[in-house]
Amino acid sequence: MKFRFYSSLKQPQNKGAALVLVLAFVVLLSGLVVAYLSQTSTDRRLAKSSFEDTSADLLARSALDIVVGDFKQEIVDGSTSASPPYTPTSNANVVPMRSGNPGTVPNLIRRSVRSDGLVAPAVPSRASAVNSSTDVSVNGRSVSLDRWNTHYLIPKSDTSNDDPAPVTSFIAPDWVIVSRGGPSVQTGIGTGSSALNNAANGNLNYVIGRYAYAVYDEGGLLDVNVAGFPSPTPAPVTYVGRKGVIAFADLTALPTTGSSFVSNTVINRIIGWRNYATVQPTGTFPSFTFTAAATSNFVNYFLDTSRDFRTVATNLSSNRTDQGFITRAELIKLRSDTGAGAATMLQYLGTFSRESNHSTWGNSGTELAGRFPLSRFDLFAITPPNNAAAIQQYFGLNYVPASGPTAEHWRYCGTSGNTLLSAIPSVSGNSQSPDLFPLLKYALPTGTSISEILSIGASLIDQRDQNDDTTWIEFGDPAAPQKAFGVDKNASTEPGAPPPPSTLLVLNRDFRNVGELGYAYKNGSTSLDFRTAGSSDAPLLDLFTYNTATPRSGIVNLNTQNIYVLAAILMGAITTESSSATVPRTAATPAATSIINATTSLPAIGRQDVARLASAVTHSTFTPNEETKETTARALAEVGQTRTWGLMIDVIAQTGRYPPNAASLANFVVEGEKRYWLHVAIDRFTGQIIDQQLEPVYE
Amino acid sequence: MLVAVAILTLLILLFARFLNSASTITTLGTKRIDADSSARPLLDRMGVDFSQMVKRSDVSYFVKTQTNTQVGNDQIAFYSAVTGYYPSPSKQSPVSLVAYRVNSDSTSPSYNKVERMGKGLIWSGASPTYIPILFLAPAGAPTTTIDNIWPAATNSSTSDSDYELVGPHVFRFEYYYLLTMGALSPGPWTSTNTVAIKDVAAIVVAIAAIDPKSKVLVTNSQIATIAGSLSDYTASMGPGQLLAGWQSALDGITGIPRQVISNIRLYERYFYLSPTQ
């Protein structure tokens, strides 16, 4: 029986049925499990990828916060007080300290660098001895030198093509290693519970990522949203030659390939796109041409004294508007798409600039509410004045028409009433908006007489009014008033009036820039001095303004190290008003070099330093006489500033870890990466961020 | 023989039950993964678009404001420095018009699904036909708004060839703002032309997704009913309250199979626009 049962199981039709069934179930189950595991595995990888992206983004933003925070700390530590206003302790501290710069990259302020040589007040970068370019990660990741220059802010090694490869002297930033405890300099992986690769809870040294960065002086570049004018050059030459706004920077001063410079065709492509509705060029993108009417539209737009240029015009033409460069990437693409010049020109151009239109001289940052608008002198364009009330408000003068032998003149009575004053009020308190004469008293050396101050004011009026008669102002004792005389072509017939100087230039037009105040006289023979280092008249350069908007775009940091930026500003400036002679490129570049040498040895702390910078220019175009010497002040002061740090921070952040077998700091495993260009404007004197723009970089 | 058969039967039953349990577990897991797989790329895509949003005071936005409260599913349209579908292979600018909506056209195959418009814009001045990015003009009452120029970008049912399906299983889309001063807001501006995007620290997006297996159990009309029961964000809500409210609303829904409701998944993500000051 036992044999039979065993035998029956051995029947072919029954043999293995159970096994087959069980195997079938196992196969089914295995298939189900494998499919599920496959799906979950894929999902897990996708979720991890998404997580790493987000982590890298957060790390990059944190890195930017740290870098910006370091700059803010540098401002505080480099100032005379720990609270605003942050007055620099020395001229050297008005600019951010430079580090890791080989000297051949004028735009580079600093990079994350090992053994950072930055000293107080600057904060070192915390970078470790791992280079982002040469020290390749365990999984083969590195940041090439080309990638570090995709913004083209570093001079290219080969100017004949679009390859972003930087000059060989540029060294890529080192990594700042970030552990659970934050960023700090690391010297090795370490061992045991405090090792960088030990993920045990409580190990603050466990590394979660790293970042590297480079900071560029975007505030020292020409903001291409404002800079540049079309060709044919707006006529007459005085439109451009009198400067006053950065739009009249001559971009043909910018070198491109070999001995070539940016062409007018290239500039027209940019302007035609940028100011399409305002200027209304003919032709289609990118081949625009400009008529005289178009260039006139251009001039009228940019000479608007209240425009801040942070937004584009609200003009509409053929259902199209003007354009603005939204990002640096857009500028790079426009140049590439239109063939607008060589890529090397991009190292002179920025897309983001902001500045508080406020003085820095002395305590004026807090004591004054703002700069004195030059346009107020337009109230004197004709006499009798159209707006006597405004003249009294802004100048403290009352008009007296001609009567008998006495010519028309002004009485100094202050901002109210009609009683002659024998003294000029002093500026006291904060955020004051003084009228002209207290402002002049505030700016000029203590002890300057009321007569001299009123004479300067009268001379400024003579420069602006449209007649040739010398302006004079009564002041002092009403019973025996004194007289202060300006300087104009026709001497005053009043007793005691000085004769006009033998060589006299009177503008008889509106002021275009603050440097033109230098045409005015402070007595019968001496003009205001904006050409000598240490000039007591220089503070006026900082206290007056043509453009009144604040904050505003398109103002260049006077301490820029970029020669050709200053050369573009100087090129085309009128050196001699009577002949409309202008500064050629061959003079602008050496003049710019002289200025940069001067600011390198002693940074400019305010616009008043422009007089010192003018004295540093020794090229023959600038030196024949006082007027030519002050060309630098006329071209530079109005479009220059020192109080804002305009930075572009290029940061690359990588999340990841050190594996258990990591032997050196280079053995990092990269899991996620994010890159940003942060454009930020920090007010050096208040520590506030005026504005910022975060530009994600996708490569 | 009988013993063998009995053991075999027991084994079969055991395996069948085991298989059934495994199947149930994997099905539930798969549904969750399907919903996640639908939501994640949508949210990631939004992340890319928002991070490159053109944030200026002189360009137009179509976003939720006090005068554009957007009852039900929300819409958003803005310029972003991302590539899109260009009308021409040349003269392509780096800026696109991006819009998100839940299609409300019941005749469309995308009905009750999230669509994204990625309209690539060409350089200004390159064509009289194709419209580039336009800045706000003229002053006072600008006509160059997204709403005016590209009405399909601001309408939930108008068709446009540049719309593509990006959230086939997402049927509810709501957003609100985290302002730079720290408050949550449904939109503090008085009109779409006064949007001060720099006041926004983050855009908070909430979505509801349903997996495809559950979706076949309900009609589009029922999906619309479910979407309608998920309330709009209001100014009184704090962090997390919108999704909590949505979950309560789902729990209270009757007349729709429970297994469908239980497989609706809710997501919320903060998209930070600006670095801290």
pTM for the predicted model, two decimal places: 0.92
CB contact under 8 A, A36 and B136: no
Output the pLDDT for position A3.
46
**Interval A437-453: pLDDT, tens:** 999 999 999 999 999 99
Residues of B in contact with A272 (CB under 8 A): 125
Please state, in angstroms and rounded to a whole number, the distance separating the CA atoms of residues A492 and A484: 11
Average pLDDT over residues A232-248: 91
Q: Residue A64: which of B126, B273, B275 has the nearest Cβ?
A: B275
Average pLDDT over residues B141-146: 93
Q: Which of A12-16, A492-496, A540-544, A565-569 has the lowest mean pLDDT?
A: A12-16
Amino acid residing at A166: P
Cis bond before residue A286 (omega within 30° of 0) = yes
Alpha-carbon distances of A119 from A129, A683, B263, rounded to whole Å: 19, 21, 60
Which residues face A556 on adjacent strands?
Answer: A640
Domain spans of chain B? 53-272
CB contact under 8 A, A337 and B137: no
**Interval A536-547: pLDDT, tens:** 999 999 999 999
Output the pLDDT for position A369.
96
**B-contacting residues in A 315-344 (Cβ below 8 Å):** 315-316, 318-324, 326-327, 329-330, 333-334, 337-338
> Nearest residue of A to residue B39 by CA position?
A47
CB contact under 8 A, A8 and B138: no
How much of chain A is helix, strand and coil, in % rounded to 5? 35, 15, 50
**Interval A33-45: pLDDT, tens:** 788 788 777 777 7
Residue A22 has pLDDT above 90, yes or no: no
Closest by CA position to A357, among listed A26, A639, A590: A639
How much of chain B is helix, strand and coil, in % rounded to 5? 35, 25, 40
Q: Residue A311: which of B57, B94, B277 has the nearest Cβ?
A: B57
Q: Residue B126: which of A65, A285, A322 has the nearest Cβ?
A: A285
- Alpha-helical (H) ranges within A231-363 are 238-241, 264-274, 276-279, 292-302, 328-338
Please state, in angstroms and rounded to a whole number, the distance separating the CA atoms of residues B192 and B78: 11
Whether the CB of A579 is below 8 Å from some CB of chain B: the reply is: no
Cis bond before residue A551 (omega within 30° of 0) = yes
**CB contact at 8 A, B208 and B265:** yes
Amino acid residing at A199: A
Please state, in angstroms and rounded to a whole number, the distance separating the CA atoms of residues B243 and B246: 5
Output the pLDDT for position A58.
92
Residue B113 has pLDDT above 90, yes or no: yes
Residues of A in contact with B4 (CB under 8 A): 9, 18
Q: What is the largest CA-CA distance in chain B?
A: 96
State the pLDDT confidence band at A107, using cuts at 50, 70 and 90: very high
**B-contacting residues in A 246-275 (Cβ below 8 Å):** 272-273
**Interval A456-491: pLDDT, tens:** 999 999 999 999 999 999 999 999 999 999 999 999
Output the pLDDT for position A11.
58
**CB contact at 8 A, A502 and A441:** no
Q: Which of A190-199, A600-609, A624-633, B185-194 has the lowest mean pLDDT?
A: B185-194
Residue B276 has pLDDT above 80, yes or no: no
> Nearest residue of A to residue B124 by CA position?
A273
What 3-state class would DSSP assign to A148? helix
CB contact under 8 A, A273 and B57: no
CB contact under 8 A, B138 and A314: yes
> Nearest residue of A to residue B271 by CA position?
A54
Residue A208 has pLDDT above 50, yes or no: yes
DSSP 8-class letter at A323:
-
Whether the CB of A304 is below 8 Å from some CB of chain B: the reply is: no
**B-contacting residues in A 21-80 (Cβ below 8 Å):** 21-22, 25, 28-29, 32-33, 35-36, 39-40, 43, 46-47, 50, 53-54, 57, 61, 64-65, 68
Which residues face B271 on adjacent strands?
Answer: B203
Average pLDDT over residues A535-560: 97
| CA neighbours closer than 13 Å in the CB half-sphere of residue A493 | 8
Place of tokens 């577990």: B25
Output the pLDDT for position A1.
44
What 3-state class would DSSP assign to A461? helix
Q: Residue A29: which of B22, B93, B137 has the nearest Cβ?
A: B22
Residue B34 has pLDDT above 80, yes or no: no
Torsion of CA A662, A668, A671, A676, to 10 degrees: 160
| Angle, alpha carbons A610-A616-A617 (nearest 5°) | 95
**What Rg value do the Cα atoms of chain A yield, rounded?**
34
Alpha-carbon distances of A456 from A151, A263, A354, A488, B153, rounded to whole Å: 48, 43, 33, 12, 61
Which of B135, B136, B144, B148 to probe the A interface (max A CBs under 10 A)? Answer: B135
Output the pLDDT for position B194.
74
Output the pLDDT for position A10.
52
Output the pLDDT for position A12.
59
User: What is the ipTM for the molecules in this complex?
Assistant: 0.89
CB contact under 8 A, A50 and B40: yes
Average pLDDT over residues A254-269: 92
**Interval A136-164: pLDDT, tens:** 999 999 999 999 999 999 999 999 899 99
**CB contact at 8 A, A346 and A331:** yes
Tell me the count of A-B CB pairs closer than 8 A.
Answer: 151
Please state, in angstroms and rounded to a whole number, the distance separating the CA atoms of residues A685 and A166: 34
DSSP 8-class letter at B235:
T
Amino acid residing at A183: P
Q: How far is B241 from chain A (nearest CA, A)?
A: 23
Residues of A in contact with B95 (CB under 8 A): 326, 330
Closest by CA position to A561, among listed A107, A218, A216, A98: A107
Please state, in angstroms and rounded to a whole number, the distance separating the CA atoms of residues B53 and B51: 6
Residues of A in contact with B57 (CB under 8 A): 310-311
> What is the percentage of chain A residues whose pLDDT exceeds 90?
84
Average pLDDT over residues A517-534: 93
State the pLDDT confidence band at A2, using cuts at 50, 70 and 90: very low
CB contact under 8 A, A35 and B22: no
Closest by CA position to A298, among listed A247, A249, A349, A242: A247
Output the pLDDT for position A341.
75
